[in-house]
Chain A
Amino acid sequence: MTPQLLGQLIDDHAAALTLFARQWCAAPEDVVQEAFVKLSAQRPLPNDPVGWLFRVVRNGASSAARADRRRQRHETGAAAHRPAWFAATENAAIDGTDAAAALETLAIEEREVVVAHLWGGLTFEQIGQLAGVSSSTAHRRYLKALSTLRERLRVPCPNPSTLD
């Protein structure tokens, strides 16, 4: 893997991967960094580096989550402060904090589909491989998650003509 390609992957996907890892663990940057290091040591390079990265981040974040849970038994106060999931965005229809709070109410199976599709740019087929389910199951989870989020966020409709 060339440094240019690795740098491009970091620039394009590090933020989404971090958000994806944040669904499980409290230190997503470490997990993402390890995933990139592992990717650079791969011989040969995976056919789908982005899908591979999401899979490695998912596994690493799950492992880190288990370690987090063990640690939180002793450090209950440390987990109280959680960093923001989204950057401050002007003219956004939804507040980032509200979106993060709504996302947190979803089941992890639905949340990972939403994050991987909306911010990671993965197809439902890739998400299905990632989560170990079929692409139709991944799509079904996505629709259910969006319905839940719509109810909780009360998203204003930007285009009234799209309403029934």
Chain B
Amino acid sequence: MSESLDPRLNDVAAALSALAPRPAALDRDRLLFRAGRASAPRPWFWRLSAAASTIAAVVLAAILLVRPAPTPIERVVYVQVTPAPIPAPPMEVAVTPPAPLESEPQEPAYSWPSTPYTRLEDRLLRWGLDGLGEPSPAPAAPPETLKSLLQSL
């Protein structure tokens, strides 16, 4: 189309195109670096996985915060009790009581009553009259009289 121009306009166009545009104040190396970075493939996998992990963490945290308190669970547990082993009869070992310390107050040692009287006394002191036991039934025979005694001699 420019061939059909008025020659005077062609001169204007030639004079104008003789002017060189001011060089662009571009940092060529920086521009190439940025272009290389922009042309690199986007790491979509890592971006998506990071986003999914973040969303999952937020959802789980929300669930943890708003969930109701756990209800106690009642369970019936049957426990089979095995009989305890019978302990072996204790060995009779002569145990000598430790010597009492002189500083501690001494309690009077209990002496098992050896005579019938002392046994009775002991039983009465422990259990009172109940310690005497049931009274022995009355003898069927008539009480002895002086005469019968004399006769038995």
Contact = CB atoms under 8 A, between A and B. Distances in A.
Interface of A: 1, 3, 6-7, 10, 14-19, 28-29, 32-33, 36-41, 83-87, 89, 92-94, 96, 99, 114, 118-119, 124, 135, 139, 143, 146-147, 149-150, 153, 155, 157-159, 162-163
Q: How large is the interface on B (under 10, 10 to 19, 20 to 34, 35 or more residues)?
A: 20 to 34
Contact of A119 (B7, B10, B17, B35): B17
Task: Please report whether the interface of chain B is mostly helix, strand, loop or mixed according to DSSP.
Answer: helix
B153 interface: no
A118 B8 contact: no
B16 interface: yes
Contacts of B22: 15, 18-19, 83-87
Interface in B1-40: 1, 5-26, 28, 31-32, 34-36, 38-39
Contacts of A124: 1
A159 B10 CA distance: 11
Given A32-B26, A33-B31, A94 B38 contact: no
A149 B12 CA distance: 8
Contacts of B6: 143
